[in-house]
Structures are given as C-alpha cells and as structure tokens.
Amino acid sequence: MRRLLPAVLATLLLSATPHGHAQLEAGATPAPPQGDPGRGRLVFAPCRTCHFTQAEAGHGNGPNLHRIFGKVAGKQPGFDYYSEPLQAAQFVWTPALLYAWLENPMAATPGTSMMSAGVPDPAQRADLIAYLQQVSVRTAADSASP
C-alpha cells in the first residue's frame, strides 16, 4: 500500500535542489496550509511525552524543540541520540519541511529513532505546525496575564 504524495510534497520535491547549500535558505519552500494553533495544542500533545518546547526543560527522549524552526536538523548540543541519517542531515527545519516530514517520519527517514507513526491527516498536521510555531518561541518572559 503506497501512500500517494500529496500535492504540497510533490511541489517540495520539484523545488528541491541537488545540493545541500540552497536548502539551508529559508523561505524556498511553500508554506503548509494555515492551521489553527488552538486545535494544534492537542495534536501536538502526544509529541510532548518525548519533546519539550521550553528551553529550560532540556532534552527528553527526543531533542528539545525550543526555536526548532531555523535550526539545522540533527545537530543540537547535548542530545546524543540522533539517528545516523539525522546526524548527517544538511537541511534546516522549516514549517513546510516539518509539515511534510510528519506525514510519515519512519518512511521519510528510514532509521530515525523517532518511533512515531506521525500525523497523517493534513489538517491536523497544519494545526500542529501552527501550534509549534507559536509555542517554540515562547519564553518565561511571555507569561503575562492570560
């Protein structure tokens, strides 16, 4: 049973360059569908058993996700459990790329240590990205009134 590539993924494939360099530039890939961060809170909830989003929480079974967008994949200091493909990765996490990857991480990166079936539903995945964009840049200084 092969999963059909969604349109956005096909677009990403076409826009990919043969070398790593250009891929480090942000903004080269189309944005994922606009999601709802409020709904994304619960879509992201299962990820929280392994990933923390606040910097001071450090790494869990998965790497910390504070300010994850814009970081080169698989290179965070203090996290010694990246799989080989991610250790060798030469791309930067963008919302679009994480959106695409989370459809089926184990298929996208055979060998990844993240034993998750991902979030196959596109709308839910967009909600997750919208939430993570918000929460991954949140700091204690933002803890104003509700």
Partner 1 sequence: MTDQTTPPGLRRRDLLAGFGAVASAGLAAGAAALPAAAVTSWDMSADVLVAGSGAAGASAAIEARRAGADVLLIESLPRFGGSSAISAGVVYAGGGTALQRALGVEDTVEAMFSFISGAGTRHPPLEKIRLYCEQSSAHFDWLVAQGVPYREQLATTMTVPMAGESLYFSGCELAWPARELAQPAPRGHVPVATGMTGGRVLMAALLAQVAALGVTMQAQVAGERLVVGDDGRVLGMQVSVAGERKTIRARRGIVLASGGFIHNREMVRNYAPELYDCPVPWAGAGDQGMGINMGIAAGAAALRMHQGFAIVPLYPPEAVLSGIVVNAFGQRFVAEDTYYGVLGDAIAYHQQGRAWLITDRGSELPALQDDFLRVAQGNTVSDLARQLGFPKGALQDNVAYYNRHAANSEDPLFHKRPAFLRPLQGPPYSAWDLSLAKSFVPAHTFGGLHTGLDGEVFSSFGEVIPGLYAAGRTSAGLPGAPYIASGLSVGDATFFGRRAGRAAAGGAAA
Interface residue with partner 1 among 33, 124, 137, 138 (CB under 8 A) is 138
- Rounded CA-CA distance 42/79 in Å is 25
To partner 1, the closest distance from the beta carbon of 124 in angstroms equals 11
Cα–Cα distance, 12 to 40 (Å, whole number): 23
Q: Which of 32, 122, 115 is nearest to 69 (CA)?
A: 32
Least gap, CB of 34 to partner 1 (angstroms) = 20
10 Å Cβ neighbour count for 27?
Answer: 8
Q: Which residues in 83-102 contact partner 1 (CB under 8 A)? A: 85-91, 97, 100-101
Does 143 engage in binding with partner 1 (CB under 8 A)? yes
- Helix axis angle, 37-44 relative to 122-135, nearest 10°? 100
111 binds partner 1 (CB under 8 A): yes
Which CB sits closer to partner 1, 51 or 126?
51
Q: How many Cα atoms are found within 13 Å in the side-chain-facing hemisphere of 96?
A: 20
DSSP conformational letter for 97:
H
Mask of contacts with partner 1, 9-28, x by CB under 8 A?
x--xx--xxxxxx-xx----
- Is 7 an interacting residue with respect to partner 1 (CB under 8 A)? no
> Could you tell me which residues come within 8 angstroms of residue 18 by beta carbon, excluding any fewer than 6 positions away?
none
| Contacting residues toward partner 1, per CB under 8 A | 1-3, 5, 9, 12-13, 16-21, 23-24, 41-42, 45-46, 48-50, 52, 54, 57-61, 72-75, 81, 85-91, 97, 100-101, 103-104, 106-113, 115-117, 135, 138, 140, 142-144, 146
